[in-house]
Chains A and B, each alone.
Chain A
Amino acid sequence: QSVLTQPPSASGTPGQRVTISCSGSSSNIGTNNVNWYQQLPRTAPKLLIYSNNQRPSGVPDRFSGSKSGTSASLAISGLQSEDEADYYCAAWDDSLYGVFGGGTKLTVL
């Protein structure tokens, strides 16, 4: 059972906009920044969004992040087949440890 809760799966068709949620508590998302990772099959995770809504260099602006209260969301617009991957949210918890969500498997139909 992960401290941050994500839906196990999500799906969309090419060109569609998809959102993935991440629910936490006042000790993690409510207080600290949320970060998102994309993990393609058999590869290391890749930083997609940091500090709630910042994109590292090279990440397309189709990916965006937001946070409100103790929840956060990752939005992917103009969905492409290569976006099919696992997505993880992460944050620091004020109980003094880092936490990840359980992951969401995104399928492009």
Chain B
Amino acid sequence: QLQLQASGPGLVNPSETLSLTCSVAGDSISNSNYDSNYYWGWIRQPPGKGLEWIGSFYYGGSTWYNPSLKSRVTISVDTSKNQFSLKLSSVTATDTAVYYCARQPSTTVVKFHFDFWGQGALVTVSS
């Protein structure tokens, strides 16, 4: 059974960089046969509010970011640990949210559905 787990600091100071890691068990995010890979993504949810897509990547292919966050976001991959990471720079209180990592079971980002989600990691931006 596929499992994803997001982890990282629960408290980040304003203006600093939020860093989260998603550990994946039960599937590989970096198959050598690129046609066997899927997209993987980050989604966030501010307290009491709706879902916001942050970005998705395909190992050996493209990475897509939400235009509203693109200047501050980087998604990277550590294939040796089967993990992918999120970095969001220059954070403010509006970046306080539960951050989810999830699998997008498609080789095309247009098929925008996520079938397995991590449990979510609450990150609070405050001094």
Contacts and interface: CB of A to CB of B under 8 A. Distances in A.
Interface of A: 2, 32-33, 35, 37, 44-47, 50-51, 56, 88, 90-92, 95-103
Nearest to A98: B53
Contact of A44 (B52, B53, B66, B117): B117
Nearest to A6: B50
Contact of A45 (B52, B67, B100, B110): B100
Interface of A is mostly: strand
Nearest to B54: A98
Given A2-B50, A44-B120, A103-B50, A97 B111 contact: no
A39 to B, nearest CB: 8
Contact of A97 (B51, B67, B100, B115): B67
A88 B50 contact: yes
Nearest to A101: B50
A43 to B, nearest CB: 8
Nearest to A99: B53
5 contacts: A44-B100, A47-B113, A90-B113, A98-B53, A100-B50
